[in-house]
Amino acid sequence: MERLLSVGTPSVFSCPDCGGVLFELKDGDTVRYRCHTGHAFSLRSLASTQEQVTDEALWTGLRALHEKEAMLRHLAAAQIGDPRGLLEEADELATVSEKLRRLTEKAPAPRGFVRGN
């Protein structure tokens, strides 16, 4: 880490591979990012990796909401807790899930961004 501080500055980005702080390293007009464990990115590869990580996080969140909704419906069916309250919460989750799914499916790649570079 001390070596990175001597050659770069901490950026506002975290490493998509390990979650560590990414340091910004400038070499003329070229900017690169590196974390303390050695993961390294160009600006393009960082953008591409962040897009993948964001997509995965959104779909993971969506899956978790669906599973929670299903669990609430199972609890209500088993008469555990307040079935009416559980079903209301499940319905609210279904509404939120649907909105999130629509946003996730239509989220465009950043303008001018070409995947895979």
Which residues, in sequence order, are bridge partners of residue 42?
Answer: 32
CB 26 to Zn ion: min, Å: 19
Q: Residue 23 CA to chain centroid, in angstroms?
A: 20
Stretch that binds Zn ion, among 20-28, 57-65, 92-100, 106-114 (CB under 5 A): 20-28
Q: Is 93 exposed, middle or buried (0-12, 13-18, 19+ CB in 10 A)?
A: buried
Which residues, in sequence order, are bridge partners of residue 40?
Answer: 34
Please give the DSSP secondary-structure letter assigned to residue 110. Answer: P
Stretch that binds Zn ion, among 27-35, 51-59, 99-107, 109-117 (CB under 5 A): 27-35
Residue 18 found at the interface with Zn ion (CB under 5 A): yes
Residue 46 found at the interface with Zn ion (CB under 5 A): no
Are 62 and 51 in contact by the 8 Å Cβ rule? The answer is no
Residue 15 found at the interface with Zn ion (CB under 5 A): yes
Are 115 and 51 in contact by the 8 Å Cβ rule? The answer is yes
Residue 39 found at the interface with Zn ion (CB under 5 A): yes
Maximum alpha-carbon separation in the chain: 66
By CB under 5 A, name the one of 11, 13, 17, 104 that touches Zn ion.
17
CB 35 to Zn ion: min, Å: 3
Residues that bind Zn ion in the complex, under the rule CB under 5 A: 15, 17-18, 20, 35, 37, 39
